[in-house]
């Protein structure tokens, strides 16, 4: 498991979520080709981005509590 700070987990999650929306948009506008790989990558990015974001938030809460 890569040890990242909670804020980095949240940032990664956010980037993935944005990718999950932007990639289909680019495919819809025919700027990039629509392929199986890109479609599922964007879907997986969207879902996993949310989960990672939540995980980051949970880590942040835990770390924050420990510091108190």
Q: Is residue 7 at the binding interface for other proteins, with CB under 8 A as the rule?
A: no
Q: Does residue 64 touch other proteins according to CB under 8 A?
A: yes
Report 14-53 residues binding other proteins (CB under 8 A). Answer: 17, 20-21, 23-25, 27-31, 34-36, 39-40, 42-44, 46-48, 50-51
CA atoms within 13 A on the CB side of 42: 18
Write phi, then psi, for 23 (nearest 5 degrees). -60, -50
DSSP 29: T
Q: Supply the minimum distance, in Å, between the C-beta of residue 48 and other proteins.
A: 6
């Amino acid at each position: 498991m890569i040890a990242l700070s909670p804020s980095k987990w949240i940032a990664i999650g956010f980037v993935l979520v944005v990718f999950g929306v932007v990639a289909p948009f680019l495919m819809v506008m025919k700027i990039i080709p629509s392929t199986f790989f890109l479609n599922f990558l964007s879907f997986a990015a969207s879902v996993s981005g949310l989960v990672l974001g939540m995980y980051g938030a949970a880590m942040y809460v835990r770390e924050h509590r420990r510091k108190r």
